[in-house]
Structure 1
Amino acid sequence: MNPSTGTEHLSAHLQQQKQKLRNALRQEYWKKITKPPTDVYGETIFDPGHQRYVSMNATRSKNFRPTAWNGFLFFAMFVVPFSATVYMFKKDRETREALLRSGQVAYKDRNYKFI
């Protein structure tokens, strides 16, 4: 007997059970959403999937585990762009100031004048 046959059968069985549960929850949700209004107008429908999502977002910081990949993403998305922007502005300002101080730009051609 092939050892993988047992796991394939178990996996297929679990997938069938999961599909049955998914279909039952879908039918229950559609039954609640399409029923005529009862005595309470605007009654909200409790969706367990949405509640799990909201709860996960509320406790995301408690379950965060720092990893090397997280550190790399932080560095790539925040540190590098911020540093590049600061460097670009600083270099542009120093170049412009050097031109103004050396007299290569006439006063009438300057963007920012006191008069």
Structure 2
Amino acid sequence: MSQITTHVLDTAKGHPAAGIPISLFHLDKGNWIEISQGVTNQDGRIADLLADGITLAAGRYRMRFMLEGYFSSQDQPTFYPQVDIECNLSGAGDHYHIPLLISPFGYTTYRGS
């Protein structure tokens, strides 16, 4: 299982958000380096954002969720064309589940299990 997983849910429609591109970055010496990317499936998830067995080093990471195309495809305006979630990982190999709940004019996130 990928060390970092996500689940994007469209709370305005009450279903998973499919087709959202997501990129994962690591902050390295002041520069953001993209280390992985994927697109949410019909269940709003990316099963393999990181390959099995990859353990990320301690540090700051950013997940970028590109929402504009998702809402545009539904003829829905959006106030937030993208959402960046930054978090600190311990480097201990813990699993991090980072869900994103979206609507055209708001979003929320939390660390899940």
Name the TM tier (shorter chain): under 0.3
Bigger-Rg structure (1/2): 1
* Higher helix fraction (1 or 2): 1
Question: Please, what TM-score do these two structures have when normalized by structure 1?
Answer: 0.17
Question: Please, what TM-score do these two structures have when normalized by structure 2?
Answer: 0.17
* Higher strand fraction (1 or 2): 2
